């Protein structure tokens, strides 16, 4: 562990240099960690005088911040690259320069620069600091453009994304560590993100204080395993308690927790700290112990159910969401039924379900991907149907309740209404001319459609 402590970046107006006026556009795929990283990438480039544009058609540089978690995620990016190259060929120009950042850059490296879909620049997740230099060499014309690749993990890569680039009243993302030391057998993330490296708690505190100074009131602490955070004697419960003390900060959320780190003292802390929102996203992946063991998840179905019961005792109004993989190698009908039983037992607010996708080089790639595609499809539909039925019952039971919720943004429909979010992460659409983004209101629930509730403002 280094004592590396970068300054909070303050965006300068940008000294005019050779890159001045070069327009870049960033497209983000994958998880919230990439959303945060894209902000950091934009910060580095803006600071060097590049101009950010929202429209890829007018960009001189298009950066794709990519995800490798499933094959489908990679295919989407590969076809996007093909699309940009076709536009470029029609124009007959070398612009836009195409760069790939993120997990695909790390996994595929130089291969991405080859062939008819070859890109100009490949920059891995720990190399964004070098991006302005790498790009300058491609766009300033001082050198014959050759494609460039920078990948590999570094210990000093903890990034701070300028919070000014994020809508002030939404939940500000704050990455608290990078990488992952778990080795779930299906997962590519430990390979793409590298080992777990913590951000110094002092830096996290300064980052959040800065967010509050510019008007932010809520943060979402991010990491592949935030619950495994450890800095000397400080664990995640301790980190939450210290962040809780920051004046002006009103709400703290976090993503993602790992069930095997959800110790009672952490749940006690979450229950006690009133700024910490009572919502736990705790991916279980499967309800079958046999499958969990082969996934190397380090908990049993019983342990998961026990921790849900404990959390319900000590965290008032807690809600749960989870991820599920169906069709893991060797998953039988009985294994799958055990998973549906867990969905029924826990009563999640929301579940995210995925068909198993074999990733190259991960430990599970040695197992035969033997659940036929049609069966994966049918299990995915079955688990979603089970959840839909359960959720309808839960949501019907909420009608007539009164909830405290924060105004997040204008709702798309009906016109003039707001989207509010409760501490336990339920979305409510309500109309009220008197409200503004960031206000806290009491809403009475009048109905729902899927996971969105409708309500009227009671005070």
Q: Of how many residues is the chain composed?
A: 459
Q: Is 224 in the site for ligand SAH (CB under 6 A)?
A: yes
> Which listed option, ligand SAH, ligand SF4, ligand F3S, none, makes contact with residue 422 (CB within 5 to 8 Å by class)?
none
> Which listed option, ligand F3S, ligand SF4, ligand SAH, none, makes contact with residue 190 (CB within 5 to 8 Å by class)?
ligand SF4
Structure-token match 């909070």, residue found: 8
Contact 363, 185 (CB under 8 A): yes
Q: Is 299 in the site for ligand SAH (CB under 6 A)?
A: no
> Which listed option, ligand SF4, ligand SAH, ligand F3S, none, makes contact with residue 103 (CB within 5 to 8 Å by class)?
ligand F3S
Q: Is 285 in the site for ligand SAH (CB under 6 A)?
A: yes
Q: Least Å distance between CB 193 and ligand F3S?
A: 5
> Which listed option, ligand SF4, ligand F3S, ligand SAH, none, makes contact with residue 432 (CB within 5 to 8 Å by class)?
none
Structure-token match 């409200």, residue found: 435
Enumerate residues 6+ apart whose C-beta is below 8 A from 197: 1, 155, 157, 158, 177, 178, 179
Q: Is 190 in the site for ligand SF4 (CB under 6 A)?
A: yes
> Which listed option, ligand SF4, ligand F3S, ligand SAH, none, makes contact with residue 356 (CB within 5 to 8 Å by class)?
ligand SAH
Residue 129: is it exposed, middle or buried by C-beta count within 10 angstroms (0-12/13-18/19+)? Answer: middle
Give the closest residue to 453 by CA, choosing from 385, 386, 397: 397
Contact 67, 31 (CB under 8 A): yes
The CB density around residue 75, as the number of other CB atoms within 10 Å, is 10
Total of residues contacting ligand SF4 (CB under 6 A): 10
The CB density around residue 55, as the number of other CB atoms within 10 Å, is 8
Question: For residues 113 and 105, what is the distance between their CA atoms, to the nearest angstrom?
Answer: 10
Q: Which is nearer to ligand SF4, 52 or 298 (CB)?
A: 298
According to DSSP, residue 276 is labeled B
What the block records as the tokens of 378 is 């049918």
Structure-token match 């000014």, residue found: 164
Q: Least Å distance between CB 299 and ligand F3S?
A: 21
Q: Least Å distance between CB 256 and ligand SF4?
A: 7
State which H helix or E strand residue 219 sits in.
strand 218-222
Interaction mask 55-84, ligand SAH, x per CB under 6 A: --------------xx--------------
Handedness of CA 351, 356, 359, 365 (dihedral sign): positive
Question: For residues 32 and 404, what is the distance between their CA atoms, to the nearest angstrom?
Answer: 26
Q: Which is nearer to ligand SAH, 31 or 318 (CB)?
A: 31
Scanning 133-141, 195-203, 350-358, 430-438 for contacts with ligand SAH by CB under 6 A, the matching segment is 350-358
Among the listed residues 28, 34, 38, 224, the single contact to ligand SF4 using CB under 6 A: 224
Q: What is the 3-state secondary structure of 376-420? A: HHHHHHHHHHHHHHHHHHHHHCCCCCEEEEEEEEECCCCCCEEEE
Q: Least Å distance between CB 182 and ligand F3S?
A: 13
Q: Which is nearer to ligand F3S, 173 or 307 (CB)?
A: 173
Scanning 161-169, 301-309, 333-341, 352-360 for contacts with ligand SAH by CB under 6 A, the matching segment is 352-360
What the block records as the tokens of 219 is 């943060």
Q: Is 354 in the site for ligand SAH (CB under 6 A)?
A: yes
Q: Least Å distance between CB 188 and ligand F3S?
A: 6
Q: Which is nearer to ligand F3S, 33 or 405 (CB)?
A: 33
Residue 61: HSE in the Cβ half-sphere, 13 Å Cα cutoff: 30
Which residues are near ligand F3S by CB under 6 A?
30-31, 33-34, 67-69, 102-103, 188-189, 192-193
Residues between 128 and 187 that touch ligand SF4 (CB under 6 A): 180, 182-184, 187
Contact 252, 208 (CB under 8 A): no
Alpha helices by DSSP H, listed for 52-108, are 71-91, 103-108
What the block records as the tokens of 89 is 């060929």
State which H helix or E strand residue 28 sits in.
strand 23-28
Residues between 228 and 267 that touch ligand SF4 (CB under 6 A): 258
> Which listed option, ligand SAH, ligand SF4, ligand F3S, none, makes contact with residue 357 (CB within 5 to 8 Å by class)?
ligand SAH
Q: Least Å distance between CB 280 and ligand SF4?
A: 15
Contact 138, 121 (CB under 8 A): yes
> Which listed option, ligand F3S, ligand SF4, ligand SAH, none, makes contact with residue 354 (CB within 5 to 8 Å by class)?
ligand SAH
Q: Least Å distance between CB 125 and ligand F3S?
A: 8
Among the listed residues 177, 217, 253, 258, the single contact to ligand SAH using CB under 6 A: 258
- Chain positions contacting ligand SAH, by CB under 6 A: 69-70, 186-187, 189, 224-225, 256, 258, 283, 285, 323, 325, 354, 356-357, 359
List residues binding ligand SF4 (CB under 6 A).
180, 182-184, 187, 189-190, 224-225, 258
């Amino acid at each position: 562990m280094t004592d590396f402590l970068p300054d909070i970046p303050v965006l300068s107006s940008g000294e005019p240099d050779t890159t001045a006026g070069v327009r870049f556009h960033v497209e983000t795929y994958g998880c919230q960690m990439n959303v945060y990283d894209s902000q950091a990438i934009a910060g580095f480039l803006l600071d060097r005088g590049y101009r950010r544009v929202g429209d890829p058609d007018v960009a001189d540089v298009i950066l794709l911040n990519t995800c490798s978690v499933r094959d489908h995620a990679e295919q989407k990016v590969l076809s996007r690259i093909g699309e940009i190259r076709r536009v470029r060929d029609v124009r007959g120009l070398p612009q836009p320069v195409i760069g790939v950042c993120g997990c695909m850059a790390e996994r595929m490296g130089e291969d991405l620069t080859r062939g008819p879909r070859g890109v100009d620049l490949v920059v891995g997740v720990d190399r964004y600091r070098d991006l302005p230099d790498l790009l300058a060499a491609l766009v300033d014309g001082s050198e014959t453009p050759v494609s460039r690749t920078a990948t590999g993990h570094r210990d000093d890569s903890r990034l701070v994304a300028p919070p000014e680039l994020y809508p002030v009243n939404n939940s500000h993302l704050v990455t608290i560590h990078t990488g992952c030391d778990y080795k779930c057998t299906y997962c590519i993330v430990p390979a793409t993100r590298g080992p777990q490296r913590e951000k110094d708690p002092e830096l996290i505190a300064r980052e959040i204080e800065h967010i509050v100074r510019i008007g932010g009131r809520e943060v979402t602490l991010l990491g592949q395993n935030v619950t495994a955070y450890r800095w000397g004697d400080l664990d995640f419960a301790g980190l939450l308690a210290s962040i809780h003390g920051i004046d002006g900060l009103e709400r703290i959320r976090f993503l993602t927790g790992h069930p095997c780190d959800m110790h009672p003292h952490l749940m006690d802390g979450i229950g006690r700290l009133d700024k910490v929102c009572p919502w736990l996203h705790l991916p279980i992946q499967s309800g079958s112990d046999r499958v969990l063991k082969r996934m190397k998840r380090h908990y049993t179905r019983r342990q998961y159910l026990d921790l849900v019961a404990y959390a319900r005792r000590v965290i008032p109004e807690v809600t749960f969401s989870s991820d599920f993989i169906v069709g893991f190698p060797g998953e039988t009908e009985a294994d799958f039924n055990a998973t549906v039983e867990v969905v029924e037992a826990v009563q999640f607010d929301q579940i995210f379900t995925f068909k198993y996708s074999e990733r190259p080089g991960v430990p599970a790639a040695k197992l035969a991907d033997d659940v036929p595609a049609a069966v994966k499809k049918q299990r995915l539909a079955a688990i979603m149907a089970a959840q839909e039925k359960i959720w309808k019952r839960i949501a019907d039971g909420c009608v007539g309740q009164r909830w405290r919720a924060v105004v997040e943004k204008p709702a798309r429909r009906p016109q003039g209404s707001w989207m509010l979010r409760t501490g336990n992460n339920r979305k409510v659409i309500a109309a009220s001319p008197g409200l503004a983004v960031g206000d806290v209101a009491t809403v009475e629930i009048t109905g729902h459609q899927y996971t969105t509730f409708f309500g009227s403002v009671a005070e």
